[in-house]
Amino acid sequence: MIILKVNGREHVLDVPDHKTLLEVLRGDLELTGVKEGCDRGECGACTVLIDGKPYRSCMMLAAEAQGKEIVTIEGLAKNGTLHPVQESFVNNQGVQCGFCTPGMVLTASAFLEENPKPTRDEAAKAISGNICRCTGYTKIIDSIMDASQKVNGGVSR
Amino acid sequence: MRLRSFTTFQPKTLQEALFLRHKYKRNAVLKAGGTSLIPEMRLGLKKPDYVILLDLVEEIRVIEEKDDGLHIGAMASLQQIKKAKLNVHQSAAVANLYGPLIEAIDQVSAPSMHYQSTIGGNLCQDTRCIYYDQSEFWREIKGLCFKQGGDRCHAVPAAKSCHSVYQGDLAPALICMDAEVSVSSPKKTQIVKIADLFSGNGITPLRLPANSLITEIIIPPLGTKKIAYEKLSDRGALDYPVAGVAAFVKMRDGFVEEHGFVATSIGPAPLVVTAPLLNARRFDEDFISQAAGAVFKKARPVANTSAAPAYRRQMVKTLAEKALRRLLP
């Protein structure tokens, strides 16, 4: 038995030892916003926040996420209001096919917590571990820069 | 691809982890960040019955600055090391150590992976090969190679041993820094130079007893030594090196007193190249080209990565020159 706290709710789960966090989130908890891309840590689509930091859920066993705050894309909006990064992705066409978007948004939101006023280069480096096969990086970086302005009250470098 | 079934243990203390390590030996694998282990398990390259998860062993996650240098717990994440640089340091001699280490860390994978990846895990990563890091189906058709318990090497058909390649980005800089690791087993703890940790044998690249684990990395003060790491890879992020070279130089009275290189992604172990200087040498372009030539001479990559051996060998020289040039006073 393991207990996982996902998006603020505790779940008691009976899962085998070898199940990854990704499999439990998608399969057992039906949080399909967590995407399974490469399954080997190369694409970032399965990124979730663990205690506010980006982690690849495909390379973590579910047991390792016990006692931590897990946030998936489903839990980022609060009370029906989008997170500033989500809003910026919508407003700046940061989404094409959408498959990389949950990982991009979560990675970007954690990045802006650490570095609220990034340069474009810093933003590009921050998401260099997330692959967008539509290659829509320019709009994704636009979205992150726009979000950084929003969280800083319109001030940006 | 699903993972094969196994049983996990989640020890909370080092003692408990060592007990499990001792009990299950080669039937168990240690999981640190898992960023290379999990893909290897998915490919069936490792089929452990037991997986010992080290994430709760807090005592091997600590970063401490001591008189004899920087002590980094093996389970410290790369991000944790980057953050520790910003702390108030015990002494300037220890504060100096972060620069070259973080330069190498910045070359590992991508920043978003640094939360998960650990320094101990990075150091202990297995060797790789284009004929080895493949699906089980693919490997079976090709025929088992030495590293899989077979009788041949696909990369070098005439070879009598495994030619897989060590591709870690941190070992070169750490070896240049004269770093050591503390290796614990249930009965004793040993300090081993990182340069001596690698066996040069592609099948078992690390000289680590089956009941032991690395608990910390110890980096002594650099003194006047300067270090730079240069990496070439196909992609700008999320990639292993095509070749990587760390260079170090020690100057005295304006002349080169000591220098050397450690290359990665060339053979089953990091390649250490030092050439004692007979005379004091001026640190100039002539010296750089001659010194880098020594790495070119010793580097013998084989056809086991996406890049051709001749290209990698040439690039080792170029990277050695680039790294040295950055150290020019």
| pLDDT tens sequence across B83-103 | 999 888 888 999 999 999 999
Looking at residue B1, its pLDDT comes to 74
* Cα(B210)–Cα(B268) distance, integer angstroms: 19
Q: Is the Cβ pair B238, A42 closer than 8 Å?
A: yes
pLDDT greater than 50 at residue A134: yes
Q: Are A9 and B7 in contact (CB under 8 A)?
A: no
**In the predicted model, what is the mean pLDDT of residues B96-115?**
97
Give the closest residue to B65 by CA, choosing from B216, B183, B173, B197.
B216
* Cα(B149)–Cα(B255) distance, integer angstroms: 50
Looking at residue A156, its pLDDT comes to 44
Percentage of the residues of chain B whose pLDDT score is greater than 90? 95
Looking at residue A157, its pLDDT comes to 43
> CA of B85, closest CA in chain A: separation in Å?
15
Q: Are A148 and A116 in contact (CB under 8 A)?
A: yes
Give the closest residue to B146 by CA, choosing from B120, B158, A20, B138.
B158
Measured between beta carbons, the chain A residues lying within 8 angstroms of B42 are 39-40
pLDDT greater than 60 at residue A155: no
Looking at residue A38, its pLDDT comes to 94
Determine the residue of chain B that is closest to A107 in CA distance. B112
Cα separations in angstroms, A24 against A27, A36, B103: 5, 12, 36
Q: Is the Cβ pair A17, B51 closer than 8 Å?
A: yes
Cα separations in angstroms, A26 against A46, B16, B41, B155, B250: 10, 33, 21, 39, 54
What is the per-residue pLDDT across B255-301, written as a single tens digit (0 to 9) for each? 999 999 999 999 999 999 998 777 778 999 999 999 999 999 999 99
Determine the residue of chain A that is closest to B79 in CA distance. A53
ipTM above 0.85, yes or no: yes
> CA of B258, closest CA in chain A: separation in Å?
35
Q: Is the Cβ pair B1, A61 closer than 8 Å?
A: no
Predicted TM-score (pTM) of the model is 0.96
Count, residues in chain B: 329
Q: Is the Cβ pair A54, B10 closer than 8 Å?
A: no
Chains A–B, number of C-beta pairs less than 8 Å apart: 85
Cα separations in angstroms, B65 against B58, B131, B142: 17, 42, 50
Determine the residue of chain A that is closest to B116 in CA distance. A55
Task: Flag whether residue A128 sits within 8 Å of chain B, measured between CB atoms.
Answer: yes
- Residue to mutate among B112, B235, B239, with most A CBs inside 10 A, is B112
Q: Is the Cβ pair B109, A129 closer than 8 Å?
A: yes
How many distinct helices (H) and strands (E) make up chain A? 5, 5
Looking at residue A154, its pLDDT comes to 54
Phi, psi of A7 (to 5 degrees): 50, 40
Q: Is the Cβ pair B42, A54 closer than 8 Å?
A: no
pLDDT greater than 90 at residue B167: yes
Task: Flag whether residue A107 sits within 8 Å of chain B, measured between CB atoms.
Answer: yes
> Largest alpha-carbon pair distance within chain A?
49
